[in-house]
Amino acid sequence: MATVHLRIGDLVWGKLGRYPPWPGKIVSPPKDLKKPRGKKCFFVKFFGTEDHAWIKVEQLKPYHPHKEEMIKINKGKRFQQAVDAVEEYLKKAKGKDQTHSDDKSKSDKGRKAAKPMKIIEEDDEDAFKGGSSDKEQTDSDPEPSSVRRLVAGTVSGFKWESSPVKDDPHFHHFLLSQSEKPASSMEPITKRLKIIEEDTGSTSIQAADSTAINGSITPTDKRIGFLGLGLMGSGVVSNLLKMGHVVTVWNRTAEKCDLFVQEGARLGRTPAEVVSMCDITFSCVSDPKAARDLVLGPSGVLQGIRPGKCYIEMSTVDPETITELAQVITSRGGRFLEAPVSGSQQLSNDGMLVIVAAGDRSVYEDCSSCFQAMGKTSFFIAGEAGNAARMMLILNMVQGSFMATIAEGLTLAQATGQSQQTFLDILCHGQMASTFVDQKCQNILQGNFKPDYYLKHIQKDLRLAISMGDSVNHPTPMAAAANEVYKRAKALDQSDNDMSAVYRAYIH
Burial class (CB in 10 A: 0-12, 13-18, 19+), 280: buried
The predicted pLDDT at position 172 comes to: 38
Whether the Cβ atoms of residue 488 and residue 454 lie closer than 8 Å to each other: no
pLDDT at residue 301 greater than cutoff 90: yes
Residues 343 and 421 in one domain: no
The predicted pLDDT at position 483 comes to: 98
Residues 123 and 442: their CA atoms lie apart, in Å, by 60
pLDDT at residue 228 greater than cutoff 80: yes
Whether the Cβ atoms of residue 285 and residue 279 lie closer than 8 Å to each other: no
Q: How far is CA 402 from CA 212, 481, 492, 499, 501, in A?
A: 30, 11, 20, 11, 13
Q: Which of 359, 385, 411 is where one domain is finished?
A: 385
Q: How far is CA 186 from CA 42, 183, 326, in A?
A: 16, 6, 28
Total count of domains within the chain: 3
Q: How far is CA 385 from CA 210, 211, 302, 319, 506, in A?
A: 24, 27, 18, 8, 39
Residue 191 lies in a domain: no
* Mean pLDDT lowest among 101-110, 188-197, 498-507: 188-197
Q: Which amino acid is at 356?
A: V
**Looking at residue 457, which CATH number applies to its domain?**
1.10.1040.10
Residue 187 lies in a domain: no
Residues 302 and 450 in one domain: no
Residues 302 and 299: their CA atoms lie apart, in Å, by 8
Residues 380 and 242 in one domain: yes
Whether the Cβ atoms of residue 446 and residue 477 lie closer than 8 Å to each other: no
431-487 pLDDT, tens per residue? Answer: 999 989 999 999 999 999 999 999 999 999 999 999 999 999 999 999 999 999 999
148-170 pLDDT, tens per residue? Answer: 333 333 333 333 333 333 333 33
Residue 351 lies in a domain: yes
Q: Which of 385, 402, 427 is where one domain is finished?
A: 385
The predicted pLDDT at position 105 comes to: 55
- The range of the structural domain enclosing residue 270 comes to 204-385
Residues 365 and 464 in one domain: no
Q: What HEC string does 327-378 produce?
A: HHHHHCCCEEEECCEECCHHHHHCCCEEEEEEECHHHHHHCHHHHHHHEEEE
**Looking at residue 275, which CATH number applies to its domain?**
3.40.50.720
Residues 397 and 253 in one domain: no
pTM over 0.75: no
Bridge partners (DSSP) of residue 52 are 45
Residue 192 lies in a domain: no
14-41 pLDDT, tens per residue? Answer: 887 656 788 999 988 877 666 776 667 8
Residue 195 lies in a domain: no
